[in-house]
Each structure stands twice: as C-alpha cells, then as structure tokens.
Amino acid sequence: MSEIKSNSSAMLTGRSFLALTGIDEVISFDDELVSLNSQGAVLTVGGQGLSIVKLSLENGEVNISGRIDAIVYTDEQPKRGLFSKFFG
C-alpha cells in the first residue's frame, strides 16, 4: 500500500540541530551541504560540520546536526525529455 505524504516540517534548535519531516530522498550530502527531496521540492541545508544523525525515509524523517547557516527550498525543475533537449 502506498501512502501519500502531504505535510513537511522543519524545526531548528539553536542553529545546531535541524529536525525535518516530509523528506522523500537524500540527494547528496557532505559536511558543508545536504540536499534532500521534499515532496517535489529540493531542500538544501548549508553549514559546517554537518552530519545526518537520523535517517528514516520510511517515516520521511531526517535530523541534521552541525553549524547550520542556511535552509533553502527550491522548486524541482521538470525533467526534460529527449525531444525538448534537441528542439526546445
């Protein structure tokens, strides 16, 4: 059975701990940048010494610790098909 997630949240505690819900996928991560897919948008967390301390994609939960300097949501760009790459 497939469950549709409709809510997401971000709770920042003291610029050093971020609890996220509504996360579908970890796109990439290192100690300065974490990129996540959150219900059709890309969520990027920037900072220093970042680490993912909890990851539960079944529940859509991700917790990040470290010095958090930025949290940015960006609408995901639609995927381009082969014909639009040549003719669009």
pLDDT in tens, the chain (88 residues): 345 455 889 999 999 999 999 999 999 999 999 999 998 899 999 999 999 999 999 999 999 999 999 999 998 655 555 555 555 5
pTM of this structure: 0.79
Q: What is the 3-state secondary structure (H, E, C) of 49-80?
A: EEEEEEEECCCCEEEEEEEEEEEEEEECCCCC
Residues whose CB falls within 8 Å of the CB of residue 50, separated by 6 or more in sequence, listed in order: 29, 30, 31, 32, 33, 34, 64, 65, 66, 67, 68
**Which pLDDT belongs to residue 1?**
39
| SS3 label, residue 3 | coil
Q: Give me 36's structure tokens.
A: 């996540």
**What domains appear along the chain, each with residue ranges and CATH number?**
9-76 (2.60.40.2000)
**Which pLDDT belongs to residue 77?**
55
User: Contact, 64 vs 79, CB < 8 A?
Assistant: no
Phi and psi (nearest 5°) for 18?
Answer: -125, 120
